[in-house]
Amino acid sequence: MSITDLSKIRNIGIAAHIDAGKTTVSERIFYYAGKTYKMGEVHEGTAVMDFDPEEQQRGITIHAAATTLPWKGDTINLIDTPGHVDFTIEVERSLRVLDGAVVVFCGVGGVEAQSETVWRQADRYGVPRLAFVNKLDRVGSDWERVIHEVQTRLHKGAAPVQLPIGAAGDFAGIIDLVRMRACYFRNELGTEVEETDVPADLKPMAELARDELVEKAAEFDDRLMEKYLASRRPEADALKAAIRKGCIRSAFIPVLCGSALKNKGIQLLMDAVCDYLPSPLDVSALTAHEITRKGETKEVKIEPDPDGAFVGLVFKITADAHGDLHWVRVYRGRLRAGTRVLNTTRDKKENVQRLWRMHADERLREDEVLAGDIISVVGLRESYTGDTLCDTRHTVVLEKMGIPKTVIAMAIEPRTSEDRQRLGEVLRILAREDPTFEYRVDDETGQTLISGMGELHLDVLTHRMLRDFRLDVKVGRPRVAYRETIREAAEAEGRFIRQTGGHGQYGVVKIRVEPRPGRDLGADPVSFDVDMKGGAVPQEYIPCVERGIREAAAGGIVTGYPLTDVHVTLLDGQHHEVDSSEIAFEAAGSLALQQAVEKAGVRLLEPIMRLQVVAPNEYFGDLTADLMSRRAEIRETELRGTTRVITAMVPLAAMFGYATTVRSLTQGRATYSMEASHYAVVPDDVARTLLD
């Protein structure tokens, strides 16, 4: 593949709030691109991308699925991501390696809770986006309201490049503002697209919208700005080029419209993906750290050169009976089957046995892939999500991705002794696949505890144990992942001195602990600093002190819950020329932290969830009364026609079983979504109950 060919590649993801219709959008894309001969439907369990039995049964996307498809001379590598917040890691790691994204919004629901989460994730990785307003055929859809919400809540640079013709049951077609043409979809499958002049009654509105589009796009192109200031009408190609420039810079968000279920607007969306979203050549060079032969590191830029030394990133692992599939984004060079690569993250050499190009759960074997490609690799044994792979002679390390912290845990128990022997192996496989799944054995009770992002997340994983691994387990009641933090600053000294004849152990450290603002779910729980005069603690032992402090914090000091939001400063210490050791200073750091935290006093923290409930307005009173009984803080209520949207912050501990309650209160007519927001102090009366 040449550099010119790279300009024809689009690596994109489809992301949205749950039930916005992104998988239906993906299914239509496959059909119109010729990848499938029949459109799959989510509600019928026939969607190509929802191939997992768990997805088909629940009617939701759980795993990110990939495919490669052609469109008008371009190649689109597409990843369909989940919309449920419990599976947010699938969105996170997909966006880490994609060059662009299509964010789908429901024409009725508008900007919903998970829409904002997805948008923030894309912002974090600087991913350019298109917005697609779906379901405009539904009663209650409101194009203008959704546009306003996107502009005010997500990105002020969003602007329509299309307008819908009609609304709800009368939604008939789309006006392309760039070319000023009306597009009608004349048959049920949407394959017969008729282009006409813009209808006379809609032309004034379309002209006004186009003028606003030109005004915004002109900010990114000097020639277009000259024409705009001279009141000259720009050509479609010039306007398209300006929109592309703004989109690639993430300063402009083109907004499109349609109805995937009714097969309207998908071909125009695919055109927009190729016209506006970047190729691998258009995105900024990736920053990495090169490791020299002397062991030094220096910052380098990774350009998408197919002839350069190979660099790739493992961003997802899927367990498979014939060998784990490692999904890799190739950033530079080429990767061949049967070659050897270096995992620089773990300093391990790996064998690339086979390369597969994925279409959902189907595979097409490849002998070689080049920069800009997304591929699945078989043969890697020591590589995990976020690891860098590279040529063995040119070692570089890419930045790792962020992994959300778990917020919920439950005990798990195998039903038979045979299952008990296999439990550890199965848990290791699941944790290797999913970085947001954790497990540990409680030292006091001997119970195995599994942790995840929510009830649904753990429920899906326990079902997988039975279905995929034939491992029958029973699970306990979900438990909240509480944390402890300190009330005030305090100082303490930790002394670890042992003399048993011969070589002893000697380590003394003095530290100060201080509360640290934050309580962010993803923040480092303990920050460490050194403010010490002289060499009271030799330089080689300072990392041991920090390690002892972090290990003690992870195990909990007073309540048994991990310590968080604490800043620790090493102030002083003592050492012995003969008896001091790494073990001694690690133990001294641990003891010092325990004593300092006991002096400072602790508070219990609990995870707070951002809850959004959408229900008919007549149930507003019952829903708010129930939420108040759950210690919820209602932040916003919005009336959308006859529907009420309630946004609240509520403790996770109070939300177990909420799905049943909300169905009962609204006769099954409400929907809700939750996402982890932050940690907050547990009220004293609740804390006393938890600690008794």
For residue 431, pLDDT over 60 is answered with yes
DSSP assignment string, 166-202? S-GGG--EEEETTTTEEEEE-STTS--EEEEPPPGGG
The per-residue pLDDT for 50 is 58
The C-alpha atoms of residue 449 and residue 412 are separated, in whole angstroms, by 6
The per-residue pLDDT for 103 is 94
Choice between 266 and 58, residue whose per-residue pLDDT is larger: 266
Interval 652-666 mean pLDDT: 85
For residue 45, pLDDT over 70 is answered with no
Q: Is residue 511 a contact partner of residue 570, using CB atoms and an 8 Å limit? A: yes
Q: Is residue 98 a contact partner of residue 83, using CB atoms and an 8 Å limit? A: no
Choice between 59 and 118, residue whose per-residue pLDDT is larger: 118
Q: Count Cα atoms within 13 angstroms, Cβ side, for 182.
A: 19
Q: Count Cα atoms within 13 angstroms, Cβ side, for 301.
A: 6
Average pLDDT in the chain = 87
For residue 666, pLDDT over 90 is answered with no
The C-alpha atoms of residue 636 and residue 43 are separated, in whole angstroms, by 32
Q: Is residue 679 a contact partner of residue 516, using CB atoms and an 8 Å limit? A: no
The C-alpha atoms of residue 252 and residue 346 are separated, in whole angstroms, by 39
The per-residue pLDDT for 413 is 87
The per-residue pLDDT for 338 is 92
Choice between 503 and 373, residue whose per-residue pLDDT is larger: 373
Interval 128-132 mean pLDDT: 95
Q: Which two tokens stand for residue 597?
A: 């935290």
Residue 11 makes CB contacts below 8 A (sequence gap 6+) with: 77, 97, 98, 99, 100, 280, 329, 372, 374
To the nearest whole percent, how much of the chain has pLDDT over 90?
41
DSSP 361: T
Beta bridge partners of 611: 648, 674
The per-residue pLDDT for 42 is 58
For residue 46, pLDDT over 60 is answered with no
Torsion of CA 250, 255, 256, 258, to 10 degrees: 120
Q: Helix, strand or coil for residue 19?
A: coil
Residue 154 makes CB contacts below 8 A (sequence gap 6+) with: 111, 115, 116, 119, 253
The per-residue pLDDT for 3 is 45
Pairing of strands 602-616, 483-486: antiparallel
Closest to 649 in 3D by CA, of 600, 599, 591, 608: 608
Q: Which two tokens stand for residue 511?
A: 């530290």
What is the separation of C-alpha 256 from the centre of its chain, rounded to a whole number of angstroms?
Answer: 24
For residue 457, pLDDT over 50 is answered with yes
Q: Is residue 634 a contact partner of residue 648, using CB atoms and an 8 Å limit? A: yes
Q: Count Cα atoms within 13 angstroms, Cβ side, for 627.
A: 24
The C-alpha atoms of residue 502 and residue 514 are separated, in whole angstroms, by 39
The per-residue pLDDT for 150 is 94
Encode pLDDT of 506-518 as tens digits: 999 999 999 987 6
Encode pLDDT of 70-116 as tens digits: 999 899 999 888 877 778 888 888 888 999 999 999 998 888 877 88
Pairing of strands 173-176, 74-80: unpaired
Interval 586-591 mean pLDDT: 94
Categorize the per-residue pLDDT at 195 as very low, low, confident or very high, splitting at 50, 70 and 90.
Answer: very high
DSSP assignment string, 555-616? H-SSSSSPB-SEEEEEEEEE--TTT--HHHHHHHHHHHHHHHHHHH-EEEEEEEEEEEEEEE
Interval 640-648 mean pLDDT: 85
Encode pLDDT of 153-178 as tens digits: 999 999 999 999 998 888 999 999 99
Q: Is residue 311 a contact partner of residue 396, using CB atoms and an 8 Å limit? A: yes
Choice between 358 and 161, residue whose per-residue pLDDT is larger: 161
Residue 646 makes CB contacts below 8 A (sequence gap 6+) with: 611, 612, 613, 614, 615, 620, 623, 624, 627, 634, 636, 637
CB atoms within 10 A of CB 72: 10
Torsion of CA 337, 343, 348, 350, to 10 degrees: -10
For residue 194, pLDDT over 70 is answered with yes
The per-residue pLDDT for 411 is 86
Q: SS3 sequence, 94-107?
A: HHHHCCEEEEEEEC
For residue 2, pLDDT over 60 is answered with no
**Statement: the pTM of the whole predicted model exceeds 0.75:** yes
H/E segment holding residue 426: helix 417-433
Interval 51-58 mean pLDDT: 69
Residue with tokens 């030109």: 214
Q: Is residue 604 a contact partner of residue 561, using CB atoms and an 8 Å limit? A: yes
